[in-house]
Amino acid sequence: MLKLLAFFADETTDQPGGIPSWVTWVILGVMIVGMVLLMILPQRKQKKRQEEMMSKLAVGSIVTTIGGIVGEVVQMDDKHIWLATGTEGNTTTMQFLRQAIHSIAPAPGSPEAQAEEQAQKEKENEVDEIK
């Protein structure tokens, strides 16, 4: 118990390990700040990416839900999105919360879609070269 109290005491002398007590507090503070930064910064980046994705969402967009359902947005409001999914002759409309959207596919013909197609072709060419 005395060692624990000595740890929290404000001493300027060296501890038995030879390290001044203020160094221990500085290291502890740096570790706490580092842990907080490592937890908060990635969450902010993820939230920013999610907000950017939701701002691109429009009627006619092809989206994937967190459950894996792929469909075209046919109607939207502040809280909900209606997706049409299925084949040409047998479509079904489903209602989802906006938070259920996982990703938005790029519109056909857009620069993003062309870049994705080019990357897919390059990947296929690499596989063919390996064989």
98-109: per-residue pLDDT in tens?
A: 989 998 887 666
Tokens 């519109």 sit on residue: 107
Strand, helix or coil for residue 90 = strand
Prediction pTM value: 0.56
Under DSSP, the state recorded for 34 is H
The low-confidence residues of the chain, meaning pLDDT below 70, are 1-19, 107-110, 131
Q: In what order do the strands lie in the sheet with 62-65?
A: 90-97, 80-87, 70-76, 62-65, 101-105
Pairing of strands 70-76, 101-105: unpaired
> Which domains are assigned to the chain?
2-53 (no CATH), 58-130 (2.30.30)
